[in-house]
């Protein structure tokens, strides 16, 4: 009898092991990228890149590998399919489908954009004289986009006689736009077709000449300005200007006064403008102020002078003015002086007013100056953390300023503000369908302390009845932190799907942005780039210390250069995060910055440094996420990219995931999803993009055990 029991136990153990083994076999297995070592040598240092071959876009083996990654992600996330659908449906259900923008008046017409129920794309319209006039549909993008997996329309530009409309179209998501021209009187599309452009264009005042910018087909740098005469072939267009410095890009526009055509050239830290009379048939452009290292400026024409916004002897910028016949910097006279605690970001010029867009203590401010008596005041917004900006202000002779406003609890709003009486008129606030009530949510401004003692602002929001400050709330922490781009607090109806499930949402205003002034940017770039990463980590630690969340419920998210941030923190402090979502992440820093053929490389040496210099090479190498992957535990990770991405090539996140798979020592999820039809901005259309959002949200909720 004892022998029978013994054999029965052995049988049960073997059966259990077999079941476990079969279960493991049924579990989706990630694709394994083959290794083909490639030596990359410079400055006496050699790196081995086992996945360099994934750069071969035309290689069928690469495409099959990408498809395998997608199949794996789909398989792993298959059990969340119903949750993803629920998330998508509730996100879309909050959006008013038959919506319309606030009209603005230009040259006798009121222009606006509207959406129809079920339509993915906008309908561009106008009415002559008043909003009571008959509607004229200029472009119905829903009709134009039929048959395309991706469709992006940009750069709408109406001629001065109101008869012609130029616009740019991209159907690949590579941001190489083709410009078309439509006759608004007959509705016909003219035969003119201008390819490989930025999509934008500028009409001369003769209504038959169009200026536009082309891109280098390989690097996608905006490098040439052409003049096109309607009815002629693109090959016959006259080259007006070529920007030969590979660190600069160029563009063309017309001043608000309509008197000047302007060609601009910009790098990260330098700018140059050329101006010409917009009424001349064949205008001759002259340089406004020659480019100099570290001299940035922008120009605004009014009557017989230019206002000049510049960093000349002014880190946080100041405002100057100069006659439009004497534009060199020695003629500039100061209007608004430099201030160490205020960043001057933009200016709107009116007949009787100057409106300054400023930034102080990390918040936007709009300052109105009466030019007649030099009195001034700031518009009061009444919230602790918010974002405000001036919008479409085309008329000089008006007392009305139009501005936009949002906060973490206030949907996007458009106001008309009477600068004389200080009366505000709310023209439109985005309608959030369903049971949204802003009083259910609370926004705060917090400050974490970085390693060097610097106070790092955090903008934070949660649903009051779902949150308790006991350390048990899930939290999504977001940041960007590059190029001096300030990540201002903004409302998102999409985000409600997290807040209503108990999430805290936090924006970390890390160095590398420009929230706290120009120095904030300079302290997060070049040889100080690591401040961006350590600032983010300090914010995470603070949120945990203050019991807003804990490491088992804290998620991090960032995209593009913010994806670089995600890669860096994954290597530096993987223990702090339950999961990381890296959207189109730039992670192979050194290899990309050594390859001048890749879009954006040469124009960004002032941002990251040029690794052909050994000092920058060594510093970049010390933080580059791809180069610093090591044998350690990593958080759960979801990585996204697009096959046609022109900003961050698809192979960077793909190589990164392959290397992580080969080296990480944990069993946490590592998922890669590649949109085979799109690029850097994801899916086109109004609603399709939210399927990607639903996947990201389901990834987090599933890890937390939230099933509904």
For 185-211, the pLDDT digits (tens) are 999 999 999 999 999 999 999 999 999
- pLDDT for 23 beyond 70: no
Instruction: Out of 588, 680, 684, 702, pick the active-site residue.
Output: 680
Helix (H) or strand (E) holding 694: helix 689-703
Q: What is the mean pLDDT of residues 335-362?
A: 95
Short-list 110, 71, 111, 117, CA closest to 92: 117
Range with the poorest average pLDDT among 373-387, 408-422, 551-565? 373-387
Buried-exposed string 58-68: b where 16+ CB fall within 10 A, e elsewhere: eeeebeebbee
Tally of residues, the chain: 708
Share of the chain above pLDDT 70, in %: 95
CA-to-CA distance for 29 and 657, rounded, in angstroms? Answer: 14
Q: Which residue has the tokens 């409302």?
A: 491
For 597-646, the pLDDT digits (tens) are 776 677 788 899 999 999 999 999 999 999 999 999 999 999 999 988 77
Q: How confident is the model at residue 648 (pLDDT cuts 50, 70, 90)?
A: confident
Q: Two tokens at 665? A: 């020592």
CA-to-CA distance for 617 and 609, rounded, in angstroms? Answer: 8
Q: How confident is the model at residue 21 (pLDDT cuts 50, 70, 90)?
A: very low
Q: What is the CA radius of gyration of the chain?
A: 27
For 108-159, the pLDDT digits (tens) are 999 999 999 989 899 999 999 999 999 999 999 999 999 998 899 999 999 9
CA-to-CA distance for 268 and 605, rounded, in angstroms? Answer: 8
43 is catalytic: no
Q: How confident is the model at residue 384 (pLDDT cuts 50, 70, 90)?
A: confident
Q: How confident is the model at residue 397 (pLDDT cuts 50, 70, 90)?
A: very high
For 557-576, the pLDDT digits (tens) are 999 999 999 999 999 999 99
| 300 and 327 Cβ atoms separated by less than 8 Å | no
Share of the chain above pLDDT 90, in %: 86
Q: How confident is the model at residue 19 (pLDDT cuts 50, 70, 90)?
A: very low
Q: What is the mean pLDDT of residues 20-41?
A: 81
Q: Which residues pair with 48 in a beta bridge?
A: 39
Q: Two tokens at 60? A: 């069928």
Burial class (CB in 10 A: 0-12, 13-18, 19+), 530: middle
The whole-angstrom distance between residue 97's C-alpha and the CA centroid of its chain comes to 24
State residue 608's pLDDT score.
95
State residue 602's pLDDT score.
73
| 300 and 307 Cβ atoms separated by less than 8 Å | yes
680 is catalytic: yes
State residue 268's pLDDT score.
87
Instruction: Out of 49, 588, 645, 702, pick the active-site residue.
Output: 645
298 is catalytic: no
Short-list 534, 532, 546, CA closest to 487: 532
For 266-291, the pLDDT digits (tens) are 998 899 999 999 998 889 999 999 99
Q: Two tokens at 10? A: 């052995």
Query: What mean pLDDT, rounded, does the chain reach?
Result: 93
Q: How confident is the model at residue 324 (pLDDT cuts 50, 70, 90)?
A: very high
- Non-local (6+) Cβ contacts of 11 within 8 A are none
For 495-534, the pLDDT digits (tens) are 999 999 999 999 999 999 999 999 999 999 999 999 999 9
Strand arrangement, sheet containing 305-310: 297-302, 305-310, 318-323, 333-336
């Amino acid at each position: 009898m004892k022998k029978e029991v013994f054999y029965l136990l052995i049988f049960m153990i073997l059966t259990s092991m077999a079941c476990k083994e079969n279960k493991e076999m049924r579990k989706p297995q990630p694709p394994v990228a083959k290794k083909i070592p490639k030596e990359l040598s410079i400055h006496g240092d050699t790196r081995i890149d086992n996945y360099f071959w994934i750069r071969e876009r035309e290689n069928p083996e690469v495409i099959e590998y990408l498809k395998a990654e997608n199949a794996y992600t789909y398989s792993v996330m298959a059990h969340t399919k119903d949750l993803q659908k629920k998330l998508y449906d509730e996100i879309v259900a909050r959006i008013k489908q038959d919506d319309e923008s606030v009209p603005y008046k230009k040259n006798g017409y009121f222009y606006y954009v509207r959406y129809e129920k079920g339509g993915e794309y906008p309908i561009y319209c106008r009415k002559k004289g008043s909003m009571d006039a008959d509607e004229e549909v200029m472009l119905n993008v829903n009709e134009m986009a039929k048959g395309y997996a991706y469709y992006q329309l940009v750069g709408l530009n109406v001629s001065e006689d109101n008869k012609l409309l130029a616009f740019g179209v991209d159907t690949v998501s590579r941001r190489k736009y083709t410009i078309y021209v439509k006759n608004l009187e007959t509705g016909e599309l003219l035969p003119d077709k201008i390819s490989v452009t930025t999509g934008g264009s500028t009409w001369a005042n003769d209504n038959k000449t169009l200026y536009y910018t082309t891109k280098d087909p390989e690097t996608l740098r905006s490098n040439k300005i052409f003049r096109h005469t309607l009815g002629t072939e693109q090959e016959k267009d006259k080259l007006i200007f070529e920007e030969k410095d590979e660190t600069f890009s160029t563009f063309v526009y017309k001043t608000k006064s309509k008197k000047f055509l302007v060609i601009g050239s910009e790098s990260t830290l330098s700018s140059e403008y050329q101006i010409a009379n917009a009424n001349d048939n064949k205008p001759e452009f002259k340089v406004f102020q020659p480019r100099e290292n570290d001299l940035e400026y922008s120009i605004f024409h009014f009557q017989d002078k230019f206002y000049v916004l510049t960093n000349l002897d002014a880190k946080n910028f100041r405002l100057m003015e100069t006659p439009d016949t004497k534009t060199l910097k020695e003629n500039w006279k100061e209007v608004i002086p430099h201030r160490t605690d205020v960043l001057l970001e933009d200016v709107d010029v009116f007949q009787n007013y100057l409106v300054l867009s400023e930034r102080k203590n990390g918040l936007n401010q709009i300052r109105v100056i009466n030019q007649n008596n030099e009195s001034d005041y700031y518009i009061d917004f009444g919230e602790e953390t918010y974002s405000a900006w001036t919008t479409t202000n085309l008329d000089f002779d008006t007392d009305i300023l139009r501005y936009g406003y949002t906060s973490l609890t206030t949907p996007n709003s458009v106001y008309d503000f009477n600068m004389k009486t200080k009366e505000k008129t709310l023209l439109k606030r985005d309608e959030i369908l369903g049971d949204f009530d802003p009083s259910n949510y609370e926004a705060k401004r917090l400050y974490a302390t970085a390693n060097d003692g610097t106070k790092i602002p955090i903008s934070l929001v949660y649903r009051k009845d779902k949150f308790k400050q006991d350390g048990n709330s899930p939290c999504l922490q977001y940041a960007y932190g590059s190029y001096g781009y300030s990540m201002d607090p903004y409302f998102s109806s999409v985000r409600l799907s997290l807040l209503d499930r108990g999430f805290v949402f936090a924006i970390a205003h890390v160095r590398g942005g420009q929230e706290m002034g120009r120095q904030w940017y300079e302290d997060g770039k070049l040889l100080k780039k690591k401040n961006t990463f350590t600032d983010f980590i300090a914010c995470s630690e603070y949120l945990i210390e203050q019991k807003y969340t804990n490491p088992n419920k804290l998620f991090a998210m960032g995209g593009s250069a913010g994806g670089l941030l995600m890669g860096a923190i994954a290597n530096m402090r993987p223990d702090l995060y339950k999961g990381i979502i890296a959207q189109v992440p730039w992670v192979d820093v050194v290899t990309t910055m050594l390859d001048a053929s890749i879009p954006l490389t040469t124009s960004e040496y002032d941002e990251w440094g040029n690794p052909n210099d050994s000092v920058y090479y060594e510093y970049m190498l010390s933080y580059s996420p791809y180069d610093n992957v090591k044998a350690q535990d990593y958080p759960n990770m979801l990585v996204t990219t697009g096959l046609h991405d022109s900003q961050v090539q698809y192979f960077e996140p793909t190589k990164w995931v392959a290397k992580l798979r080969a080296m990480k020592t944990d069993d946490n999820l590592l998922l890669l999803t590649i949109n085979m039809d799109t690029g850097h901005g994801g899916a086109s259309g109004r609603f399709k993009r939210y399927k990607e959002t639903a996947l990201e949200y389901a990834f987090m909720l599933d890890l937390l055990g939230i099933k509904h």
